[in-house]
Amino acid sequence: MQLYKNQTLSVHNSLSGKKEVFEPINEGHVGMYVCGPTVYSNVHLGNCRTFMSFDMIFRYFRHLGYKVRYVRNITDAGHLEDDADDGEDKIAKKAKLEQIEPMEVVQRYTVDFHNTLQKFNLLPPSIEPTATGHIIEQIEIIKEIIDKGYAYEVNGSVYFDVLKFNETHDYGKLSGRKLEDMIANTRELTAQDEKRNPQDFALWKKAEPQHIMRWPSPWGDGFPGWHLECTAMSTKYLGDHFDIHGGGMDLKFPHHECEIAQAEASSGQTPVKYWLHANMLTLNGKKMSKSTGNNIYPSEIISGENDILSKAYTPAVVRFFMMQAHYTSILDLSDEALQASEKGYHRLMDAMDCLETLGTGNNSDFDVKTWKQQCYDAMNDDFNTPILIANLFEAVKHINLTKEGKEQITEGDKALLQSTMHSFVYDVLGIEGKKNGNDNSNLLDGVMDLLIGLRNEARANKDFATSDKIRDELTALGIQLKDGKDGTTFSTN
């Protein structure tokens, strides 16, 4: 169904700093590119928030009936420790540290990334390209930029000439920075610097002999600059001018600013119609940081094994918590906030269950049609999920009143309410119900009761071969049995 024909969606475009009506470049189609992870470590919950925000946006476009091509890359080369083109490649550094191949690092953390996002019920993108799979495309773009006069080669490296570009274009238009201010605020170049100006950035870096991640190029062996991969992969799959580019706020500068410069310099076209930026997740009011320990991984939140929170939370509750904030607002994670979300999640899910068997009457006390449009209005206002959730709770209130016999609902309105609740809760917000895969704790308890019972029976019959087999095979699965004076309990790894 082409719902988009009856809905007017506005999005906050970081390029204009305003909300704009979304009009796709090709009617009925949406092309969206989101910067993916650099796969050198486990994905943290902050990363997950950004990807979850764009998953919700992807889901809403699909719900509206658009054909969406969603491209989210994997950065598996070229991302140096320092944004100013210095330091080691993050992946090569990790490989050296662990004495494994860089591609083993990439594989390990790509698998972790996929597993984690699956737990939070994110849909896979349409295409998930890698930087190392697009070296040829990146080299071609560099050649074009050099041909157009916006890049120069020095000693096997190629740099983008920001000052030259700014003579005819506007470097800084996305981040709202002025080149003069940037120049005033940067240090002078030293004699060993290869760049003409400190603002210039690397398109290609010469690989020193010890650098393991290297590819041949017209300028000698080297590796691409980080910003370039996103220009190569977004334009390859979505064209020189596409609808949406997303990422976390922290990528606006220099990463996205440089992407615009590269694309404009090579193709002559402005690459992106709408730039969307998701805001950061903080922890107990402070920036998440691995070095200070103010950091939490998804697996720690799900297992409850951490020193920050009082208990474990299911991925569905965490996702619901994330959706309760607007994607452009900072969201602070704390035990209190998660507990409140857990309560809200259960209230919502109980109402969803109750709706299935709700009795109907001759009249409706709840104007379901108007309410349904209010749900769309919330999402049409730059994907305002907190307002959408407030509307869902308005429906919960009426469901509960109807259950208590204080209100009525007609059969037709009940069906409309059910289908709308399903669409927004499950399809658009991507919240999984209690019975779905992610909340298996009750199921596991039940299965373990059964196995412990069978083992006790075997022991009572002196069938120690069977009782030992049950214990050993559970241990192999990562489940430990502990026999105490009050019976047998279990724990998982």
Binding site for ligand AMP (CB under 6 A): 35, 37-38, 46-47, 49-50, 247-248, 250-251, 280-281, 288
Residue 174 beta carbon to ligand AMP: minimum distance, rounded to whole angstroms: 14
Instruction: From the list Zn ion, ligand AMP, none, pick the one residue 15 interacts with, judged by a Cβ distance below 5 to 8 Å according to partner type.
Output: none
Instruction: From the list ligand AMP, Zn ion, none, pick the one residue 280 interacts with, judged by a Cβ distance below 5 to 8 Å according to partner type.
Output: ligand AMP
Residue 250 beta carbon to ligand AMP: minimum distance, rounded to whole angstroms: 5
**Piece of 33-41, 84-92, 131-139, 272-280 that binds Zn ion (CB under 5 A):** 33-41
Alpha-carbon distance of 428 to 157, in angstroms, equals 46
* Sequence-separated (6 or more) residues with CB below 8 Å from residue 292: 286
Interface residue with Zn ion, options 35, 117, 145, 355 (CB under 5 A):
35
Residue 248 beta carbon to Zn ion: minimum distance, rounded to whole angstroms: 10
Which of 256, 471 has the CB closer to ligand AMP?
A: 256
Residue type at 55 in one-letter notation: D
Residue 204 beta carbon to ligand AMP: minimum distance, rounded to whole angstroms: 20
Which of 125, 248 has the CB closer to ligand AMP?
A: 248
Residue 116 beta carbon to ligand AMP: minimum distance, rounded to whole angstroms: 12
Which of 46, 78 has the CB closer to ligand AMP?
A: 46
Distances (CA, A) of 133 to 114, 137, 224, 233: 18, 9, 12, 10
Which of 161, 382 has the CB closer to ligand AMP?
A: 382
The secondary element (H helix, E strand) that includes residue 65 is none
Residue type at 273 in one-letter notation: K
Which residue in the block uniquely carries the two structure tokens 């690092």?
A: 105
For β-strands 29-34 and 242-248, DSSP reports them as parallel
Kindly identify the residues of this chain, within the stretch 227-246, that bind Zn ion according to CB under 5 A: 230
Which of 36, 344 has the CB closer to ligand AMP?
A: 36
Q: Which of 87, 89, 74 lies closest to 39 in space, CA to CA?
A: 74
Q: Determine contact, residues 433/349, Cβ cutoff 8 Å.
A: yes
Q: Determine contact, residues 155/202, Cβ cutoff 8 Å.
A: no
According to DSSP, the residues that pair with 140 across neighbouring strands are none
DSSP string of 369-381, one letter each residue: HHHHHHHHHHHHB
Residue type at 276 in one-letter notation: L
From residue 192 to residue 231, the character string flagging contacts with Zn ion as x (rule: CB under 5 A) and all else as - is --------------------------------------x-
Residue 255 beta carbon to Zn ion: minimum distance, rounded to whole angstroms: 5
Which of 9, 283 has the CB closer to ligand AMP?
A: 283
Residue type at 53 in one-letter notation: S
According to DSSP, the residues that pair with 29 across neighbouring strands are 67
Q: Which two tokens stand for residue 307?
A: 């020193």
Which of 35, 182 has the CB closer to Zn ion?
A: 35
Q: Which two tokens stand for residue 382?
A: 């730059």
Residues contributing to the site for Zn ion (CB under 5 A): 35, 230
